[in-house]
Amino acid sequence: MERRSFFKILSSVSAGVAASSCSNKTDTLIPLLVSNTEIVPGEEQWHPSVCSECSAGCGVIVRVMEGERTVERQGHKFRERIAAIKKIEGNPLDPVSGGRLCARGQSAVQSLYHPDRVTAPMRRKGTRGTAEFVPVSWDEAIDAVSRSLNIQQSADPGKILFLTRPESGSRSATIQNFLSALNAPPPLTCSLASFAVERKASEVVFGWRGVPVYNLARARYVLGVGADFLGGWVSPVYYARQFGEFRRGRPGVRGRFIQAESRMSLTAASADEWLPLLPGSEPEFLTAVTRLLLDARLARDPEQLPPAVLNSIKSADVASLARICGLNVNRLERITRDLGESDAPLVISGASSPNTNSLHAVAAAHYLNALLGNIGRPGGILAPNQDLSPLPLVGSVSEKLKASNFLLLDYQNPVYSLPAAAGARETLSQLEMIVSFSPFIDDSSAYADWILPDHHALETAQAVVPAVAPGSAITVGLPFIRPLYDTRALDQTLVAIAHKMGKSLEPVTPERYVKSLLPPDQTWDQVACRGGLWQEAPKPVGNEVPRVAEAQAAHSEIAVSPDLARFPFYFQPYLSLQFHDGSGANLPWMQELPDPVSSAMWNIPVEIDPQSAARLDIRTGDWVRVQSPYSSFEAPAYVYPAAIPGVVSMAIGDGHQHYGRYASGRGANPIEILAPVLEPSTGTLALGGTRVQIARLDRAPAGFVQFSPRDREQGPWGYR
Amino acid sequence: MLRTDPWSEGLPKRCARITALFLLHAALSLAAVNQPVQFPHNTHMKLGLACVDCHTGADIRAAAGIPSVTKCMLCHAKLATNKPEVKKVIQYAQKGEEIPWRRVYGFSSDAHVKFRHAPHFEANISCATCHGEMSQETVAVRSIDFTMGTCLTCHRQRKASQDCAACHY
Amino acid sequence: MAIDLDRCTGCQACVAACHAENNLPLSDPESAAKGRAFHWIRVDRYYEGEFPSIRVKHMPVLCQQCDEAPCEPVCPVYATYRNDEGLNVQVYNRCVGTRYCANNCPYSVRFFNWFDPVWPEPLPLQHNPDVSIRMTGVMEKCTFCIQRIQRAERDAASEHRQVADGEIQPACVQSCPAEAMTFGDLNDPESKVSRLAASGRATRLLEELGTKSKVFYLERSE
């Protein structure tokens, strides 16, 4: 949608929000909450909101038109016309989404209208894990939960564990207030998409809080290392927009892009050149490049680095480092020269598949950027959108789970996102009490004693701090449709529980959250109308460049299970664009979206390279068993011509035992077989820390469906 | 989802659908539809109300709206409150319910027609062309029967688009 | 339409946008296995070379809206034809389901409704009322979001102005984060899409078949 027409539409969206603040064209005033009688067939309304599918926090606009549903009243079924959400697009005013949106974000409407949503509070009926529940009233549920929480709180508040999304905003502020009112420890997250390593590296090296912003659009030569930033990384829409600009947005300038990664990801596929790194060799690669840069006297700012770092780089032996990466020195030299000679070079690094040495890798990339004079420079690496409230911590969730008595789950699924060896299932069956706020019965909610379902994000009021944004940004969404079911917003539920326990708790509303940050020339009404508060980054005082500190990385070598003869393959589960940390698997559009790598639908395959596949007699579609020292699973194989020999990858997403009709019992969960190895500085699960063996199963190839079949990939257009 | 093979099921189903379409059509044209309130169009039009006063949007939007009970009550809170049909309206208003009007005109979803009122209004086609002289009618019935032929005749005369995709998509 | 393959990242935002806009039937594993899943736009991938110097290319493929469309002459009931605006139109009311058109389409972008689509409640609340729900026995394909084209043309007409270049955006074009897709009037030599189509990078898919397709791909060149 064009900006012009969006302003036109906004004018009609004014509301409990004052009309004058939005625009002057206010011929039709529609209250913020659309009542059903105000829906005119064939006419659309657009309302600003915020996407909650991942922590990128994209601003969206939502198309509302008439919809019909069947309702039962007094024994009679009839069709009711209501205001319904039809489509979600990016908010053109939002600097993160810029009017665009990824596939997952557009599918948020399917989680709103998902046929398997929890429609009312529920109490467990069967044994834990069987997902048998009976609906109860809100009063009964709140009564029971607050009573037992009270008992736990007076006994030992330290044993209350709250797991929530890795997101900062009004919602997480309410959760933190709730926990501090109870003297309970702050919330943790077990999401695989917390990007804790990236945050930690930026904190250690620059003293920044949050994920740094890479100004890709203004760079001319980009070296990506380990960050699948066009795929399932921190902010896919923001970086894809930047990428378009980088490539063809500037007359006469086409940015050149080299990606070094242990997988041919979407990002590597978009690169001009892909450097296939062996898993976990990112620190070695970056050290080699840095050393070559220093040797070629192309470093612009060598004094930036702490002497200890500089010395260790100078003592590095490029030839042996290149051997560890599986690359040839001449190639490294060429790339270093191009990088160093470019007038706007940039190194983008991250840990899409965290290894035990990932902190070291990201820190090494920061040093390289510092040498290139990139810190805080347009086309370089910029300070993050400062988090206003502390993010939930990551730290070794499985230990904390075992040490706690009372578990509260907010869209978190430890059973799914912890390896089987961490024993989450056993721990959850033994906990005293589990309360889930999830609107879906997922693998972990199946263990809950009580489910107090939250509204869908589009039905609730929230302010979200986007993980990555140019300047300072808060995205705001206020409800404009009536909740579909007997659900309650999480902050409401928490306030009710706190009051029952005799504690005082004020929910942090988006208005309260934003008000303290409002610049003098803006009002809350304007923020609500636009869908966010976006400001230029504060100008650094003087010519202050952040200090570059040494990262004390514990391991520079990747730790994996040692038995190389029995388990010859590196195994790397990764976050895909459609399923992300696995939470997108319940959406039918995401299940039938052909996987960008394999074109697989409704089933995620294991990606294996052609050489190894030939040796093991595996063809695409064959079923294979993937066995780690801890556990195994079975899945179809996809022979991926671009896989690194000896490296087996798989997207996270399938293998839910419970997660609605479209995900339950479908495929395998790659996390399940991982070694419970953590990245030491953050406690993030090291996705790349496990080796596996693979064997073909004697089973008829079935269940593997590709949308674009194989013959379309190879050779010309023979396929019909 | 149990599904048998397509054409064994599809063809009879389509026939059934076509029959249903005819029946719907017949039902609509016979429609002295049993409306919850016997609304006299003629009385209101004699008072000088225009169609778009109540059926808002017919001039500028896709659909001609059906007035909400609140709109009725703008006048009937005070006027003619003792008439039996008006009393019904008041009852709905007091219960906070909308009047469950039955639809008189419309296209079945199988016709795949995307009709918009506004362009027709802009082309100065009177409401009566398709809906009859409502100033003479009481309760709305489907007095004009239109088929694709009716649409096309008019489109030809007025040199409007005759492309299928102008209406069917 | 022009699609810049140098900008395209293969993220498939366009695919999801198309589903949301056009009420595409949901598939299930069984129907998908029979090749009956619907994607009016898809992202094809090509591999060039062998590891380690392999390159993967992504290419969004949708109905190419050919001027000499192979699907049109084989339809016995004129359910698919080229209209005055140059769109290759599919009329559901006319289609009798011979599937000849899908057979004759070299781009494999036509999809047949073997069954009435099924959406469990309350998913139908999401349906776009501007687009028909297709029934058993008819063929469907990308329409270039004709409902959006019509809406923009009507809005322009009622405001007594021309449709501006770039005003009409099909759902896929609207959603594309990398802005790889451009939609506009190829008859207007000044439009952005015409300029892109005339640039040296533009090629058409299976040009040798003489379909005179109206989707131009801008090659990924260095």
Residue B40's H or E segment, with its range, is: none
Q: Show me where the domains of chain C are located.
A: 2-218
Interface check C167 vs B, CB under 8 A: no
pLDDT at A564: 75
Q: What band does B167 get if pLDDT is binned at 50, 70 and 90? A: very high
The band of A30, judged by pLDDT with boundaries at 50, 70 and 90, is very low
What's the CATH architecture for A569-713?
Answer: Beta Barrel (2.40)
Query: What pLDDT was estimated at residue B17?
Result: 54
pLDDT band at A32 (very low <50, low <70, confident <90, very high): low
- Confidence tier at A38 by pLDDT (50, 70, 90): low
d(CA B40, CA B46): 10
Mean pLDDT score, A657-666: 94
Contact (Cβ atoms closer than 8 angstroms) between residue A679 and residue A192: no
Within a domain: B123: yes
A24 pLDDT higher than 80:
no
Classify the phi-psi angles of A619: left when phi > 0, otherwise alpha if psi is within -120 to 50, otherwise beta.
Answer: beta
**Best to test chain A binding among C31, C44, C47, C56 (most A CBs inside 10 Å):** C56
Looking at residue A277, what is its pLDDT? Answer: 93
Domain extents in chain A: 3-112, 122-192+398-475+482-517, 213-382, 569-713
Q: From the CA atom positions of chain B, what is the Rg in Å?
A: 19
State pLDDT tens for residues A357-407: 899 999 999 999 999 999 988 899 998 876 666 777 777 788 899 999 999
Instruction: Write down the pLDDT at residue B59.
Output: 87
pLDDT attached to residue A66 = 86
Is A34 in contact with A64 (CB distance < 8 Å)? yes
Q: Which two tokens stand for residue A557?
A: 């070598």
Query: Has residue A331 got a pLDDT over 90?
Result: yes
Lowest-pLDDT range of A254-268, A509-523, A620-634: A509-523
If you average pLDDT over residues A437-452, what whole number do you get? 95
pLDDT band at A73 (very low <50, low <70, confident <90, very high): confident
- Could you give phi then psi for residue C47, rounded to 5 degrees? -110, 130
Kindly indicate the confidence band of residue B98, based on its pLDDT and cuts at 50, 70 and 90: confident
Instruction: Output the six-digit token pair for A634.
Output: 């079975």
- What DSSP element (H or E) covers B14? helix B6-29
Region B56-85: mean pLDDT is 87
Domain A213-382 has CATH 3.40.228.10: yes
Residue of A4, A85, A87 to mutate, testing the C interface (most C Cβ within 10 Å of its Cβ): A87
- Amino acid sitting at position A589: W
Q: What distances in angstroms separate CA C37 from CA A704, B6, C24, C106, one per listed residue?
A: 14, 15, 9, 18
Residue A446 has pLDDT above 80, yes or no: yes
- CATH class, domain C2-218, is alpha beta
Number of domains present in the structure of chain B: 1
In this prediction, residue B5 carries a pLDDT of 44
What single letter denotes the amino acid at residue A2?
A: E
pLDDT interval class at A562 (50, 70, 90): low
Q: What range defines the domain where residue B150 resides?
A: 56-64+104-169
CB within 8 Å of A664: residues ≥ 6 apart:
A656, A657, A658
Whether residue B122 lies inside any domain: the answer is yes
Burial of A284 (C-beta count, 10 Å sphere; 0-12/13-18/19+): buried
Hey, what's the torsion of the CAs at B164, B166, B168, C3, to 10 degrees? 100
Buried/exposed code over A674-694 (b: 16+ C-beta within 10 A; e: otherwise): bbbbbbebbbbbbbbbbbbbb
Residues A41, B70: C-beta atoms closer than 8 Å: no
Please give the residue of chain B at the shortest CA–CA distance from A79.
Answer: B100
For residue A295, pLDDT beyond 60:
yes
Of A594, A239, A232, A593, the C-alpha closest to C20 is: A593
Query: Which of the pair, A16 or C63, is modelled with greater confidence?
Result: C63
Mean pLDDT of A427-443: 94
pLDDT band at B104 (very low <50, low <70, confident <90, very high): confident
pLDDT at B35: 86
- CA neighbours closer than 13 Å in the CB half-sphere of residue C133: 16
d(CA A50, CA A45): 16
Beta bridge partners of A472: A535
pLDDT (0 to 100) of residue A558: 59
The residues of B whose Cβ lies within 8 A of any Cβ of C are: 1, 3, 6-7, 9-11, 13-14, 17, 60, 109-112, 114, 116, 118-119, 122, 163-166, 168-169
Domain membership flag for residue B129: yes
Give the pLDDT score at B140.
Answer: 83
Residue A576 in this model has a pLDDT that exceeds 70: yes
Compare B103 and A366 and report the one with higher pLDDT.
Answer: A366
Question: End-to-end distance of chain C based on CA atoms, in angstroms?
Answer: 22
**Residue A709 pLDDT level (bands cut at 50, 70, 90):** low
Q: Which residue has the higher pLDDT, A502 or A15?
A: A502
Residue B70's closest chain A neighbor by CA?
Answer: A37
- How far apart CA A434 and CA C77 sit, in angstroms, is 62
pLDDT of A588 higher than 90: yes
The first and second tokens of residue A59, run together, are 């601003």
Number of neighbouring beta carbons within 10 Å of residue C159: 8
CA–CA distances in Å: residue A145 to residues A95, A130, A363, A380? 41, 20, 44, 50
**pLDDT value at B109 more than 90:** no
Q: Do C131 and B168 count as a contact with CB atoms less than 8 A apart? A: no
CA dihedral A304, A308, A311, A312 (to 10 degrees): -110
Encoded amino acid at B21, one letter: L
Beta pairing partners, A600: A706
- pLDDT over 70 at A450, yes or no: yes
Mean pLDDT of A192-200: 92
For residue B113, is it within any domain? yes
Do C135 and B14 count as a contact with CB atoms less than 8 A apart? yes
Which DSSP state fits A672? G
| pLDDT class of A538 with cuts at 50, 70, 90 | low
- State how beta strands A122-124 and A133-135 pair: antiparallel
Q: Say which residues have a Cβ less than 8 Å from residue B74's Cβ, sequence separation at least 6.
A: none
Topology alike, domains A122-192+398-475+482-517 and A569-713: no
Question: Mean pLDDT over residues B86-98, rounded?
Answer: 88
A188 min Cα distance to partner chain C (Å): 31
Residue A418 has pLDDT above 50, yes or no: yes
| Contacts of A among chains (3+ CB pairs under 8 A) | B, C
Q: Most B CBs within 10 Å: which of C96, C136, C143, C144, as the mutation test of the B interface?
A: C136
Residues in chain C: 222
The sign of the torsion formed by the CA atoms of A68, A72, A78, A80 equals: negative
The residue-averaged pLDDT of C40-57 equals 90
pLDDT grade, residue C42 (50/70/90)? very high
Which is nearest to B108 in space by CA: B31, B30, B167, B20? Answer: B20
Mean pLDDT of chain A: 87
The pTM of the full predicted model, rounded to 2 decimals, is: 0.91
The answer to whether the beta carbons of residues A276 and A644 sit under 8 Å apart is yes
Give tens-digit pLDDT for C158-196: 889 999 999 999 999 999 999 999 999 999 999 999 999
Q: Are B135 and B42 in contact (CB under 8 A)?
A: yes
Share of residues in chain A with pLDDT > 70 (%): 89
Residue from the list B3, B60, B114 with its beta carbon closest to the beta carbon of C115: B3
pLDDT in tens, A207-254: 888 899 999 999 999 999 999 999 989 999 999 999 999 999 999 999
Whether the Cβ atoms of residue A42 and residue B61 lie closer than 8 Å to each other = yes
Give percent of chain A with pLDDT exceeding 90: 67
Residues A629 and A561 sit within 8 Å (Cβ to Cβ): yes
With respect to CATH, is domain A122-192+398-475+482-517 assigned 3.40.50.740? yes
| pLDDT at residue A14 greater than cutoff 60 | no
Backbone angles phi, psi at C70, to 5 degrees: -65, -20
Which pLDDT belongs to residue B97? 80
A143-191 pLDDT, tens digit each: 999 999 999 999 999 999 999 999 889 999 999 999 999 999 999 999 9
CA distances to A119, A611, A653, C42 from A637, rounded to whole Å, are 38, 14, 16, 22
pLDDT at position C209:
92
Its CATH architecture, for the domain A3-112, is Single Sheet (2.20)
State phi, psi for A229 to the nearest 5 degrees.
-75, -15
Q: Could you give the residue ranges of the DSSP H alpha helices within A278-410?
A: 282-295, 307-314, 318-325, 329-341, 358-371, 397-403
Distance, in Å, from the CA atom of A2 to the CA atom of B160, rounded to the nearest integer, reads 29
Task: Return d(Cα A241, Cα C209) in angstroms, integer.
Answer: 34
Which residues 52-71 of B have a C-beta within 8 angstroms of A? 56-57, 61-63, 65, 68, 70
A543 burial level (CB within 10 Å; 0-12, 13-18, 19+): exposed
User: Rounded to whole angstroms, what are the CA distances from A455 to A111, A146, A358, A440, A528?
Assistant: 11, 20, 37, 11, 19
Contacts of A342 (CB under 8 A, 6+ apart): A220, A221, A256
What amino acid occupies position C214? K
What's the mean per-residue pLDDT of chain C?
93
User: Would you state the pLDDT for residue A70?
Assistant: 79
- pLDDT at res. B10: 47
Strands C42-48 and C55-61, bridge-based pairing: antiparallel
Instruction: Give me the residue label for tokens 């790339």.
Output: A335
A498 falls in which pLDDT band (50, 70, 90)?
very high
Using CA of residue A200, residue A204, residue A210, residue A212, what is the dihedral sign? negative
What per-residue confidence (pLDDT) applies to A322?
93
Which partners does chain B have (≥3 C-beta pairs < 8 Å)? A, C
A237: which residues sit within 8 A by CB, 6+ positions away? A56, A58, A90, A96, A97, A98, A100, A101, A102, A105, C13, C177
Note whether A518 and A528 are within 8 A (CB): no
